[in-house]
Amino acid sequence: KGSTKTAGGPSQIENAKVALIQFCLSAPKTDMDNNVVVSDYAAMDRILRDERKYILNMCKKIKKSGANVVLIQKSILRDAYNELSLHFLAKMGILVVTDIERSDVEFVCRTLGCTPVPHVDSLAPEKLGSADHVGDVVLPGSGHKVVKFVGVAHPGRTSTVLLRGSNELVLAEANRSVHDAQCVVRSLVKQRFLIAGGGAAETEASLRLRELALETTGMDSHCFKAYADALEVIPYTLAENAGLKPIEIVTELRKAHAEGTIGAGIDVKKGCISNMYEKNVIQPLLVTTSAIKLATETVCMILKVDDLVVVA
């Protein structure tokens, strides 16, 4: 969003000193709900005068710290700001950006090199970030404005991806797609191995477990066989979701792996079994191993349950 200019404040600041505040620029409130009964106009004027003085003192402390750009975190307890505080800040030539989400505070601080300030008395010049220029810019193709920081003195190792869409649904879907792509990159950074997709890895692991089950006896053999059956659910579900015949597809897939084609997987576009490495259908190894590990831990936790207590 753009800067707040309801009180006539500036929209462009050179040599900016940025402060991110977490306290509220509004009249204080008690922890309990109460009502103030005003019997005459003199008492009402005194209340308004005290409120004005309280907010003015906070704005003067912000100005004294050297900040000329103020980012205000969104508050759920009471108003993070009011028109009077915006008016005072505008008169002092301070650019104001409101409604900073709590989840974005860490990113903003790492990017601008500032420190969040929980109380006005803690505001000091060393807690401010700096930039050569801060101002509103209009996005091409629309009338929306955003605040752009240029020339950050000590930029952190952060990046910004600006998503645009025709409506909230398109924007949410684009956000999920970017998040999924970031998770794939994260998985590759943590463990730099790629395996075939299309259910190839699960089928190969299931085949090897069945061979191991035939070589062992007793309870271990039953466990290996059950684990192999569970792994085959993944290619079965994949074929079912693709509108294919799951039993036939899984049987062909099992046959291909038995013949030595390790990369054989389900080609959902052609509806057949293909070599996933040749089709460039690959996925990070960490994704598959994490899923198998979590599923195994869940089953082990359920098996440890001795009894259930039914609460009526």
DSSP the chain: -----TT---SEEEEEEEEEE-S-BS----SS-------SHHHHHHHHHHHHHHHHHHHHHHHHTT-SEEEEE--SSS-SB-HHHHHHHHHTT-EEEEEE-GGGHHHHHHHHT---BSSGGG--GGG-EEEEEEEEEEPTTS--EEEEEEEESS--S--------SSHHHHHHHHHHHHHHHHHHHHHHHS--EEETTTHHHHHHHHHHHHHHHH--THHHHHHHHHHHHHTHHHHHHHHHTTS-HHHHHHHHHHHHHTT-TTEEEETTTTEEEETTTTT-EEEHHHHHHHHHHHHHHHHHHHT--------
Give the mean model confidence (pLDDT) for residues 182-211.
90
- For residues 107-121, average pLDDT: 89
CA pair distance 124, 207, nearest whole angstrom: 65
Question: Considering the chain, what is the average pLDDT of its residues?
Answer: 87
pLDDT confidence band for 252 (50 / 70 / 90) = very high
- Counting residues of the chain whose pLDDT is more than 70, the rounded percentage is 96
Q: How far apart are CA 45 and CA 87, in angstroms?
A: 19
Give 136-185 pLDDT, tens digit per residue.
888 777 777 888 888 887 776 788 888 888 889 999 999 999 999 888 88
How many residues appear in the chain? Answer: 312
| Prediction pTM value | 0.62
> How many CB atoms sit inside 10 A of residue 280's CB?
7
Q: Does residue 1 have a pLDDT over 70? A: no
Tracing tokens 């997987």 back to the chain, one arrives at: 265
Per-residue pLDDT tens for 32-42?
677 777 788 88
